[in-house]
Amino acid sequence: MRIEKVDVIVTSPGRNFVTLKLTTGDGVVGLGDATLNGRELAVASYLRDHVAALLVGRQAHNIEDTWQYPYRGPYWRRGPVTMAAIAAVDMALWDIKGKVAGLPVYQLLGGRSRRGALAYGHASGTTVEALFTAIRNLRDDGFKAIRIQAGVPGLARVYGVGSDQLAGQRYDYAPAARTTVPVEEDWDTAAYLRHIPGVFEAVRAQFGADLLLLHDAHHRLTPNQGAQLGRALEPFDLFWLEDCTPAENQEALRLVRQHTTTPLAIGEVFNTVWDYQQIIREQLIDYVRSSVTHTGGITHVKKLLEYAAQYQIKSGMHGPTDVSPVGMAAAMHLGMSIHNFGIQEYMKHGAKTDLVFEQSFTWTDGLLHPGAKPGLGVELNVDEAGKYPYEQAYLPYNRLADGTVHDW
Ligand code: CS2
Ligand code: MG
C-alpha cells in the first residue's frame, strides 16, 4: 500500500493550523498535525518543498523506516520545524494503519491502559473574583485539574491570562495576536514572585484540597527564582510547576530541584529525546511536556516516554489550542496506551475549528477518550478549511521595565 498523494493544508479557523494529508493508492487518507505557532508557513514549506517528494511511492505501512528516513537522511537533524514536519508524517501513517486495520490507534500501540486520560483546563483572572469564576466554570465542565494563571499588579497584561469571565462566558484566550510583528508586553519578575503565592493560597482556601492545581512560569525565572517559587508554593500542594527556567539549560533544574519538592514539568519547546537526556537521567523533572505535534510524532514521543518511565517520570503532554484536533487525538491515543501517563493539557477549540476538524474524541467526568473510530478518529473538512486562509499571528514578546528583552 503506497502513498500516492501528499497535501499540505494551511487553514485559520480562529488560529492557524498546518495539516498533512496523505492519500494511499487505494484511497486511504491519513492526517497529521504540523502546526508550529508563529512559524506555520516554515513547516508547510519544509513539508511541501523537502519532504513530500520523499513520501510519494513509499510503503505507507513502514512507519519506523519512514520516520528514520527524513530524520537521519537529510544531514540536518532536530529543531522545531523539522520535528513538527516529521511528526505530521508519523501521525498520518498511524492514522492510515489504524484505518486499514479497522482499529483505533491506541489499540495498535498496546491497547488501553486506563479508562480515560485525566486532563487539565486553563483558568485565569486579573482579579481573584474573576479567577474563581473561571475555576467554577471549569469544574462545572468536569475538570478535576486546573492550571491557574493570574494578572500581576502593575503589569498591564500577563501572558496566559485571558479576559475575565465574570459574565460566565467561555474562556476565549487567543495569545497569538494577528499582527505582522509581535506585540510587546512588559514583564516584572519580582512583582510576579510576590503575587503568585497569595493567589494559590486564596484558591486553596476557596476550593479545598482535592482540586489538582498547576501553574506555568513560561521560562521566565532564573534557577534561584524558580527554587524560590517552588518553595513558596509547597504549602498549596501543586500538581506541577511548569517551565520555571529557560528550557535549553538542563543543568538549571538541578538547583531548583535541590530546594523544592514542588513537582516540576518541562519540555513543551523541546523536540527530541536528546533535549531531555540529562533531566531524565538525573530525575530533575516529574513530567515530560512534549507534544506529539512538536516532538516527532507518536513514534518518537512513545520512545521518549518509555525512557522517562524508567525514572518514574510521567507524561504531561502539551495541549494548547495551537495543537490541532489531529495532534490532540494523537496525544490521546498515546496517552491511553502508555503505562506512565500523567495528565493531558486540554484547551477546547472554538466552534469554527470544530467544523473544520470533525472529531470523535469525548470528554466525560474529567477524562478524555480518543473514541473507537479506526485510526486517529479525526476527519478534515477540506471545503470548510478553505474558507479560512492563513493569517500572520505571533505570540507576544517581553521587555523588562528598562527595555531589556526578557525570556519566555
Ligand atoms: C502554554 C502554551 O499551554 C501551555 O502550557 O505554555 O500556551 C504556549 O505558550 C503556546 O502553546 C505557545 O505556542
Ligand atoms: Mg506551558
DSSP codes joined into one string, 89-132: HHHHHHHHHHHHHTSBHHHHTT--SSSSEEEEEEEEESSHHHHH
| Residue 147 Cα: closest atom of ligand 1 | 5
Q: Nearest 5 degrees, angle CA 313-CA 322-CA 218?
A: 55
The residue contributing the CA closest to ligand 1 atom 6 is 218
The residue contributing the CA closest to ligand 1 atom 3 is 320
- Is the CB of residue 40 below 6 angstroms from any atom belonging to ligand 1? no
Q: Note the ligand closest to the C-alpha atom of 267.
A: 2
Q: Note the ligand closest to the C-alpha atom of 294.
A: 1
d(CA 372, CA 123): 30
For ligand 2, a single-atom ion, the residues with CB < 5 A are: 216, 268
Q: Note the ligand closest to the C-alpha atom of 244.
A: 2
408 residues of the chain, pLDDT tens digit each: 999 999 999 999 999 999 999 999 999 999 999 999 999 999 999 999 999 999 999 999 999 999 999 999 999 999 999 999 999 999 999 999 999 999 999 999 999 999 999 999 999 999 999 999 999 999 999 999 999 999 999 999 999 898 887 655 555 567 788 889 999 999 999 999 999 999 999 999 999 999 999 999 999 999 999 999 999 999 999 999 999 999 889 999 999 999 999 999 999 999 999 999 999 999 999 999 999 999 999 999 999 999 999 999 999 999 999 999 999 999 999 999 999 999 999 999 999 999 999 999 999 999 999 999 999 999 999 999 999 999 999 999 999 999 999 998
Give which of 79, 22, 16, 95 is closest to 46, Cα–Cα. Answer: 79
| Residue 216 Cα: closest atom of ligand 1 | 5
d(CA 196, CA 216): 11
Q: Which three cell numbers stand for residue 369?
A: 477518550
For residue 166, the SS3 value is coil
Domains defined for the chain, CATH in brackets: 3-104 (3.30.390.10), 108-373 (3.20.20.120)
Q: Which three cell numbers stand for residue 2?
A: 503506497
The residue contributing the CA closest to ligand 1 atom 1 is 320
d(CA 261, CA 232): 11
> Is 195 an active-site residue?
no
CB 119 within 8 A of CB 147: no
Neighbours of 145 (CB within 10 A): 20
The residue contributing the CA closest to ligand 1 atom 8 is 320
> Is 219 an active-site residue?
no
| Residue 289 Cα: closest atom of ligand 1 | 5
pTM for the complete prediction?
0.97
The residue contributing the CA closest to ligand 1 atom 12 is 37
d(CA 62, CA 50): 19
User: So what's the pLDDT on residue 163?
Assistant: 80
Query: What's the Cα-to-Cα distance from 171 to each of 27, 130, 394, rounded to whole Å?
Result: 39, 11, 20
Best mutation site among 37, 43, 216, 349 for ligand 1 pocket (most ligand atoms within 8 Å of CB):
216
